[in-house]
Structures are given as C-alpha cells and as structure tokens.
Structure 1
Amino acid sequence: MNSPAPKPLTERPVILSCGDPSGIGPELAVRAWEHFGARLPFVWIGDPAHLPRGSKIREIDRASDALRHADAGLPVMAHPFPAAATPGAPDPANAKAVIDVIAKGVDLVMRGEGSALATAPINKKALKDGAGFAFPGHTEFLAHLAGVERVVMMLASSRSDPPLRVVPATIHIALRDVPEAFTPQLLCDTVRITAEGLRRDFGFETPRIAVAGLNPHAGEGGAMGAEETDWIADTVAGLRAEGYALAGPLPADTLFHARARAGYDAAICAYHDQALIPIKTLDFDGGVNVTLGLPFVRTSPDHGTAYDIAGQGRANPASLIAALEMAARMGAARGA
C-alpha cells in the first residue's frame, strides 16, 4: 500500500522572484523545485527562456495553480524579458524587468495570493546602471513598496546548533560612519522590530535578545571607547524596563560560540560585519536573509548572483532551499 503524500508545508504557495537572470538564481530555482516538489509549492516569476534548457516547468496564470502542478514541474508565472540571459554577464536591457518582477511578487503576497515572498539575488549596480534603481538593495525597495518607514535585516542560520540569528543595526555604510549612525533611537527601533518579528514569525513568546557593544570588549568600562557607557547601557536598561528580555552591551568577540548562542534567540550587532562574519562562518551555505517589519514575510538566500559560476551547474542550492522553507514556516506562523 502506498503511503499518503506528505502534507505541503504551506496552504498557499511561496512566491519566488527570479532575481538577476544572468546569475545563479534560475538554476537554483529548478534545483529547489527538484528538492521540494509538491511538499513546498512555490511559484517562480520570470522569463521561462532564462531557465536551464530542459527544465521541467508548468506555466500557470494564478499563483494558486501551483498547488496542483508543483508535483509535475516548477510552477512558473511568465514575465517576458526584453533580452536573453547570458550567464555571468548582466544585460542592462533586463534591469527594469528584474525590478518589475520584484514588484509583482510583492503585489501577489500583499493581495494574499502567496503566503510569503522569497527573492533570488540581484545586482544593485546592474539595476542602477540599467534602470536607475535608486535603492541600496532589496530590503529598502521592499520597504518602499510596502509603505514601511523602517525595517530590519536579520540573518538566520538553518543548520548551526544552537541556531544563530543576527541583526546588524547599521547595514551598508562605511565603518567610519557607524558611530554616528548607530544611535539610541536606531537601537530602540531595531530591538522593537526584532522582538516583534521573533514573536510573530518564529513563535518566541518572550524573545531573548543580546546586544553587542560597538567597541572591542564592549568598551571595557570606557578604556576602549565610550559609546557603551555614554548611552548603549542606558538604552538597553530602558528597553529592559519596558519588558524586553535584553542582555548587553556584550563583547562581540565572545558572543557567538555555542554556549553563548544558547543564551539568546537573536543578537543585535552594531554594524554589518560584526553580524555577518559569525553567521557566514557557522553556516555559509545555509544562511537566510529575513526582512522583519514588513506586512508580509520575506526571505532570501544569503548569497549574491555568483556570476563566476553562473550557468555551470556548480551553485549550491542549500541557501535558497532554506530560504523557501523558512518563508513557508514563517507564513504559516502568521496564519498566511
């Protein structure tokens, strides 16, 4: 007797935007479908001609159709692009279509036709050169489309034990600009958005959050920098008085080993590399980029377009697979 098919991880499909068609996004979408099949229905939006030759696909008109077709092929909502995709060589002619696909994906999840949005990697410079893209990256563009003033970028491991979730309070700015940009208001906003996201999307009733110091050894009492004693400690204490389960400011150099990770659900870091170096070291292939603070779930693989290996069949699909699965579980947690 055949056992019944496993219940899909989502009752509504995850929407996957194609990203830069000259990168590894298209081949990874096919690999992810081969991994999940009908267990996690997702819809790829893009030009079918950009997928690897011979890919099993099913073109659909409505996102919900993915639930019926995901067992037979990658469900595709066709969005024609003006130019072919040459692996490793982004074409400026395709820039606007890449942007339009992202907007289409947002529209679908905002209308409830998808449970979550996952986004394949883009190249910001290629979009700026080809279509005047005015945003630092995906995250800021998604916030703009959703009408949200401030969002938080969280990187989450899928395979480390204990897991690691890190939030850089400042993101794509020069290191010399961090002390001015990292303010009490920014830290408060980041803690509040992170805590709400951990409650709503990850099921933590009282999220435990660690706050890293800005300076070496968290300033060591002012000997190596004054921000911790001037305002970070007081800001953390004020938030703790509001009911947040916070620890810090803590030295970043002892915050990410296994015993330390077991003591918190997410760590807020002062700047980009303070957060991303540990997660890429612990789970380089399985990290997931999550945007907290949006009115919908959004995840992305934690890697770029990888032009150097695009079209060669060498790209590792682990991060996209993890991003799709995390998106489906987060969407389910929201009741999407």
Structure 2
Amino acid sequence: MGPHDSRNPRHELVIALGDPAGIGMEVVLKALASPEVPQELQPLLVGCRRSLIQTHARLIQQSSRPLADPATLRIDDQPLVDIVHPGQPTTSGADTGFHWLTRAVELLQARGSRALVTAPIAKHLWHAAGHRYPGQTERLAELAGCQRSSMLFTAVSPNSGWRLNTLLATTHIPLSQIPQALTPDLVHHKLNVLHGFCRRFTTTPHLRIAGLNPHAGEAGQLGHEEADWLTPLLDQWRAEHPQVHLEGPVPPDTCWISAAHAWQNPNQPGPDGILALYHDQGLIPVKLLAFDAAVNTTLELPFLRTSPDHGTAFDIAAEGVASPDSTIAAIRAAWDLS
C-alpha cells in the first residue's frame, strides 16, 4: 500500500467541519492549502459539500490566501437541512453540526483512520437543539464508549521549539462546582494521564501541578484543600513514580513563569507537563503564550482528537479574515501525536 493510496488509514485524518455558520469551513480550506500540513495527509471532510463549495467561492472573492479546492477533496456529504449563512447561527445548523461530529466518529472507527480533527461548535446552540453536552469532548467520549476523557492543550513554540503541555483536571463546569468535582482520585488519575502523554517525548518527565487556592493555600491561611488532601496525594504519587520530577502544588500565579521563559527563549528549561485544576487556570496562560499555536487535544479515547483553540467566531465568519494557524497546528498535532 503506497503512501498516496487513498485507502491507507494511517494517512487519513477525518475532519468534522463544526458549526456551519462559524469559521470552520473557512479555516479548514485555508489550512489544507498550507505547506505546513504533511504532504502525505489524506483528509476526509465530514459536512455539507454545497456549503463548502459556496464558502470556497466566497473566499476567492474576499481573500488572496491559498485555498484547498473542494473539487479535489474527499467529502462525506451530509447536506444542511436549512440554509445557513456565515455569521448567522441557527439551532438547525448547530444540530447538523452535531450530526457531522457523530458521523465523523462513525467513519473514523469503521475505517481505522489515523485521528480526528474537529472545527469549533457553539455549546449554547447545541443545548438549544436538545444536545445537552458541556462540549464536543463529552460527546466524543460517549460515542467511543469511554467513561472518562481528558482535555490537554499542546503547543510548539515558534520561538524556541519547546512544547507546552497543559492538562485540565476539570473542564467546562461552573467555578462554584470545582471544589466538589476535584477529588484525590480525579487528580491522581489526571496525573497518570499527563505522565503518559509526556512520556511520548521523554522517559523521565518533569511535571508540575498548580495549587487550587491563591499561594497554594498559604499553609492553610487561604484555603485548606492543599493541606488536607492535595499535598498528601502528591507525596503518594511521587512515591509511586520515583523516576518523575513532580513539583507542586505550585502557587497558581507563578506556575507558568518558567514555561513562559521556555516558550520565548531557546535552551531555557521548562516543565514537560503542567496539570491545571480548572479550565481558566490553565487556559489563561496557554492563550496568552500560544493563542494561535495551541491545540485542544482529547486523550483517553480509542483515537486521538485535536481541535483549534478558538471558537466559532460568528462575528467575523462572513468576512473571510479568519486565521487558519490554530487549525494548521491542530492538523499537525493530530498527525504528529497519533
């Protein structure tokens, strides 16, 4: 089976096109024209062929950027039921995007494709369409028959070549629910997942975990979670993994400083992986450092899934100005890490 054989599953990435009113189709067409995506990549797009052709025609008028031609792409055509215009989201369109994701997983599993890349969706519109999931990650876990999944953000610095890896212990839940959701079992499990991921790059990873409270609790003065159970748990985990250098709990306001130095400067050491205890604790530093380079990666599924680290951008979806950089990074990560 040659490298350009259309039936080689190791060269096939399935790409779900996200919310049809968002920038998903635009950034995918731009990304697939980039010289930065692997030459032997065989994308299989799941979405509406007619909408993709219309998006291509519009972008030719709006932008001089290179574009992949839908006529040359393999598309699993799942037509839109109702007309959707860019930048004008509808519940019907979001419902179709939900079914595109479901179809993409079915195809990937049936074909043995290499990995899945997903364009952005709008959670509130999924909810309006009756699909009550916190996000795509939870739907993917359900489709794959997995009880658990993990959300990790990975990015390779264009300045230094260093890779920033941040795993979230909890994801899309209200801030008030985090203390209840964070349990010793959960944190222990997430450390194992982060360790497993970082072992792709080094046999003796340097890991770091952020504290929950300001100053990591200030010896119980600013919160008790660290003293009560987090620090004892980390001591136990270290004893189980003597080959791993695990720091923490580190005060959250300084946890990413050495990562920032490693991102900016070659030969500056940074941790191989950081565990953030909740969504914004991890995402604020990741987006500050690596907005266009960061890739949302789903771990613990039977397949690897990546997604650009941005939303549907309905406000610019009709203008043709969306950057494909994060989508290019997502495609490269899906290829490199699978």
Shorter-chain-normalised TM-score: which range? 0.7 to 0.9
Query: How far has the Cα of 1:252 moved from its partner?
Result: 1.5
Structure 2 distance, partners of 1:151, 1:103, is 17
Match of 1:309 among 306, 310, 316: 316
Q: Which stretch shifts more, 19-28 or 212-221?
A: 212-221
Query: How far has the Cα of 1:12 moved from its partner?
Result: 1.9
Q: CA RMSD in A?
A: 2.2
What is the match of residue 177 of structure 2? 177
Query: How far has the Cα of 1:237 moved from its partner?
Result: 0.9
Seen in structure 2, the aligned counterparts of structure 1 residues 263 and 134 have a Cα distance that, compared at 3 Å, is: same
What is the match of residue 225 of structure 1? 223
On the 8 A contact 1:288/1:300 being kept in 2, the answer is yes
Which runs of 5 or more structure 2 residues have no equivalent in the other structure? 58-66, 263-268
On the 8 A contact 2:30/2:68 being kept in 1, the answer is no
List structure 1 segments (4+ residues) > 6 angstroms apart after TM superposition.
none
What is the match of residue 118 of structure 2? 119
Seen in structure 2, the aligned counterparts of structure 1 residues 112 and 208 have a Cα distance that, compared at 3 Å, is: farther
On the 8 A contact 2:48/2:80 being kept in 1, the answer is yes
SS of the equivalent of 2:256 reads coil
The yes-or-no answer on 1:269 pairing with 2:268 is no
What is the match of residue 42 of structure 2? 41
Query: How far has the Cα of 1:85 moved from its partner?
Result: 2.2
The yes-or-no answer on 1:81 pairing with 2:106 is no
Which runs of 5 or more structure 1 residues have no equivalent in the other structure? 60-72, 332-336
Once the two structures are superposed, what CA deviation does each residue of 1:184-208 show, in whole Å capped at 9, x if it has no partner? 1110111112222333xx3432333
Q: For 1:74, give the aligned amino acid.
A: L
On the 8 A contact 2:31/2:327 being kept in 1, the answer is yes
What is the match of residue 319 of structure 1? 326
On the 8 A contact 1:12/1:113 being kept in 2, the answer is no
Q: How does 1:35-74 map to 2 (within 5 A)?
A: 35=34, 36=37, 38-51=39-52, 52-54=55-57, 57=69, 73-74=72-73
Query: How far has the Cα of 1:159 moved from its partner?
Result: 2.6
Query: How far has the Cα of 1:241 moved from its partner?
Result: 1.2
Match of 1:150 among 148, 151, 154: 148
The yes-or-no answer on 1:14 pairing with 2:17 is no
What is the match of residue 297 of structure 1? 304
Once the two structures are superposed, what CA deviation does each residue of 1:16-65 show, in whole Å capped at 9, x if it has no partner? 10100100000111101111484433221110122214375456xxxxxx
Structure 2 distance, partners of 1:207, 1:150, is 23
SS of the equivalent of 1:268 reads strand
Seen in structure 2, the aligned counterparts of structure 1 residues 309 and 268 have a Cα distance that, compared at 3 Å, is: same
TM-score by length of 2: 0.85
On the 8 A contact 1:49/1:84 being kept in 2, the answer is no
Once the two structures are superposed, what CA deviation does each residue of 1:46-102 show, in whole Å capped at 9, x if it has no partner? 10122214375456xxxxxxxxxxxxx333221112122211112222333212211
Q: For 1:75, give the aligned amino acid.
A: R
Structure 1 distance, partners of 2:197, 2:223, is 31
Identity of aligned residues (%): 38
Query: How far has the Cα of 1:294 moved from its partner?
Result: 0.7
What is the match of residue 69 of structure 1? none
SS of the equivalent of 1:114 reads coil
Structure 2 distance, partners of 1:307, 1:228, is 41
What is the match of residue 232 of structure 2? 234
